């Protein structure tokens, strides 16, 4: 178990949130035309990723995270090219974690054979205990499956504030991110580990202090574990993401990042709105991703 090599992911597995933003879809399935169009926009992001490799991004540490629904063609092509892939297994847009395909989640992993199976979980250790226990019971199923089959497993943890925490901080979200969230993340990881859920890679929200990064690594690697941490972008602006990457790159045990919307959202939206050409969109994605890879590698050394 565990993963210790550098891992620099371009994630574009977004479904519900961007379907709503691009097509106004809410509470219904996309039409055939919308499905084909959104799949094509995702393929543009993948073309940008491939272009970045042509521009010098090291293939051995680069990876794509994309969903099977709109990105099956991408997952298959990347596998043929020897590019690492990750695939989500969770239902999109849910506050409570559940599998997209119910108990058949294993069949989809076995068919696609991604390098990494991924879950996204909203888990605050001080939230409703019954909710947390339900999530943990489901998460143990995929953790046990991955251990048994040797499938690598990424756990994306989002620790959103609950009402009483924000009341204490008088609604100051920046203060929550800086002071409270890092401590809650450590607590959440311990609770998840204690339940027997053991990811190879933790995909975590960025922290601004190197000392907080070190505490996260200490917990993720407690009791001789070898799990790595990658920093997610959370849709933040490029400057905030760079701040998080600089803090993380200096800490052994933080092995990379998974930054998506910061890289692809503007070119995707502009292409959808016909403000730029496909060629321009591909170039922008390639440059944005390469900029973060170059930053990571320079801070790493």
* Lowest model confidence (mean pLDDT) among 47-51, 190-194, 203-207: 203-207
> CATH says 7-300 is which class?
alpha beta
pLDDT at 6 over 90: yes
DSSP 8-state symbol, 77: H
- Judged by DSSP in three states, 179 sits in helix
- The Cα 10–Cα 64 span in angstroms is 5
- Asked whether the predicted pLDDT for residue 170 surpasses 90, the reply is yes
Residue with tokens 């505490």: 215
The whole-number pLDDT of residue 300 equals 87
Residue 189 confidence class, pLDDT cut points 50, 70, 90: very high
In the prediction, which pLDDT does 244 show? 86
Q: What is the pLDDT of residue 263?
A: 95
Name the 3-class secondary structure at 33. helix
Percent residues over pLDDT 70 in the chain: 100
Q: What residues contact residue 222 under an 8 Å CB cut-off, 6+ apart? A: 190, 193
Q: Is the pLDDT of residue 275 over 90?
A: yes
Degrees, nearest 5: CA angle 244-65-117 = 105
pTM exceeds 0.85, yes or no: yes
Enter the DSSP assignment of 180: I
pLDDT, tens digit, 9 for 90 and up, residues 208-247: 888 998 999 999 999 999 999 999 887 778 888 898 898 8
């Amino acid at each position: 178990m565990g993963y210790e090599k550098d891992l620099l992911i371009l994630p574009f597995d977004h479904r519900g949130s961007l379907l709503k933003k691009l097509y106004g879809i809410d509470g219904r399935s996309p039409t055939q035309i919308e499905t084909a169009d959104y799949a094509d926009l995702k393929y543009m992001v993948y073309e940008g990723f491939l272009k970045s490799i042509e521009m010098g991004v090291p293939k051995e540490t680069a990876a794509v995270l994309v969903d099977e629904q709109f990105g099956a063609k991408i997952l298959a092509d990347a596998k043929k090219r020897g590019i690492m892939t990750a695939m989500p297994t969770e239902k999109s847009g849910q506050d409570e974690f559940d599998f997209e395909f119910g108990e058949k989640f294993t069949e989809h992993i076995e068919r696609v054979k991604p390098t990494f199976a991924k879950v996204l979980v909203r888990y605050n250790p001080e939230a409703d205990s019954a909710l947390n226990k339900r999530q943990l019971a489901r998460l143990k199923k995929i953790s046990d499956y991955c251990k048994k089959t040797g499938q690598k497993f990424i756990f994306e943890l989002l620790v959103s504030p609950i009402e009483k925490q924000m009341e204490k901080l008088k609604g100051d979200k920046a203060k929550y991110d800086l002071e409270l969230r890092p401590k809650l993340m450590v607590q959440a990881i311990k609770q998840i580990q204690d339940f027997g859920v053991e990811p190879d890679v933790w995909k975590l929200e960025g922290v601004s202090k190197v000392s907080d990064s070190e505490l996260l690594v200490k917990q993720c690697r407690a009791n001789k574990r070898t799990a790595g941490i990658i920093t997610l972008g959370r849709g933040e602006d490029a400057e905030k993401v760079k701040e998080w990457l600089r803090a993380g790159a200096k800490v052994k045990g933080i092995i990379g990042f998974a930054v998506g919307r910061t890289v692809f959202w503007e070119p995707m939206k502009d292409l959808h709105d016909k403000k730029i050409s496909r060629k321009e969109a591909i170039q922008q994605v390639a440059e944005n991703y390469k900029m973060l890879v170059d930053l990571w590698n320079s801070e790493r050394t």
